Amino acid sequence: MTIVDSEAETVLALDGIGRTYISGEVEVAALAEVHLTVGRGEYVSIVGPSGSGKSTLLNILGLLDRPSSGSYLFEGLEVADLDETQRTAVRGRRIGFVFQAFHLLSHRSVVENVTLSMLYTGVPARERVERARAALAAVGLEQRADFTPTRLSGGERQRVAIARAIVADPALLLADEPTGNLDSKTSDSILGLFDALRAGGLTIVMITHDASVASRADRSVRIRDGVLSEVGAAEHAGGHAQNHIGAGQWEGRP
Ligand code: ADP
Ligand code: MG
C-alpha cells in the first residue's frame, strides 16, 4: 500500500507544474509553471474565467490526470511518479470530489450512492451503511436516505454529493463549480456547508469562475491562461478573517 503522511502539515505542494495538450499539430499549454501550497485545514479558492485551466488543474490535483512537467507532493508523497494502481488508492482514500453536475446514480438510493463510494477506500463493508448515514446526517439529509436522487432538489442532490465526498474521511475535498447549477439561495446554503466542513478542519480547494463564491475561502488564487497568482488580501473582499487551522487541530471526520 502506498504510504502518504496523514499527519503532514502540508496537504499538497505543486512545484513548477505544467500541462500541455497536444491536438493535431497544435500544442496548448493549459497550465504553465504552477506553484501552489495548501496547508492542512486551509480553504483555498481558485478563480478564473472559462478556459483558464481550472478543470485541468483540478484533474491534476485529484490525480485524475498527470502533469506534463513539475512535482506534485500530496501529503509528502511524490504522486507524479506513482503508477495508476497507487494513484487510484491515494485518490480513493484521501481525496473527495464534488462537481457542478452532482454525478449521482439516479437508480440507486441516496444511501447507496454514498456507500458505493467507499468500495475502494478501505472502509470495512459492515461499517459502510453506518458511515453513510452519519455523513448524510452531517449534511442534513438523514430523512432522505432511502429516496432516489430524482426525487431531490438540486441543493439536496449536491448535499448527497458532498456526503459521498466526505464519507471516507478524505484529507482533501476538491470542488469544481459546486454551486454552478444552483440558484443563489441554494448556493448560499451549500457554501454554508463548506464553511462548516472547513470549521471542522477539512482541507478544501474550490474552483469557481464566481468571485463572490471565491471570497468565502480563507485564501483565493487567480488563474489566467494557465498561470496562477495570489489574490491580494484587499481584493479578497468579503473573505473571512479566519485563523489558519494548523496540523494537530485536525479532528478527522467532519
Ligand atoms: P476551465 O476549466 O478554466 O474552463 P480547462 O482546464 O477546461 O479550463 O481548459 C484550459 C485550456 O486547455 C483551454 O484552452 C482548453 O481548450 C484546453 N483543453 C482542455 N482540455 C483539453 C484537451 N483534452 N485537449 C486539448 N485542449 C484541452
Ligand atoms: Mg472547467
pLDDT, one tens digit per residue, over 94-121 is: 999 999 999 999 999 999 999 999 987 8
With the most atoms of ligand 1 within 8 angstroms of its CB, the residue from 56, 64, 99, 176 to mutate is 56
Nearest CA to ligand 1 atom 21: 21
Surrounding ion ligand 2 within 5 Å at CB are: 54-55
Q: How many residues are present in the chain?
A: 254
34 CB near ligand 1 (under 6 Å): no
Gap from CA of 9 to ligand 1 centroid (Å): 31
Confidence of residue 248 (pLDDT cuts 50, 70, 90): very low
Q: Which atom of ligand 1 is nearest to the CA of 226?
A: 10
Q: What is the pLDDT of residues 53-89, one digit of tens each?
A: 999 999 999 999 999 999 999 999 999 889 999 999 9
Q: Which ligand is closest to the CA of 21, given by its number?
A: 1
What b/e readout covers 70-81, taking b as 16+ CB neighbours within 10 angstroms? bebbbbbbebbe
52 CB near ligand 1 (under 6 Å): yes
C-alpha cell, 13: 505542494
Q: Which ligand is closest to the CA of 19, given by its number?
A: 1
Nearest CA to ligand 1 atom 17: 30
C-alpha pair distances (Å), 31 with each of 79, 123, 147: 18, 35, 41
Closest C-alpha to 138, from 184, 96, 75: 96
pLDDT(187) > 70:
yes
Give the pLDDT confidence score for residue 138 in this predicted structure. Answer: 94
**Contact yes or no for 9/36 (Cβ under 8 A):** no
- For residue 144, the 8-state DSSP code is G
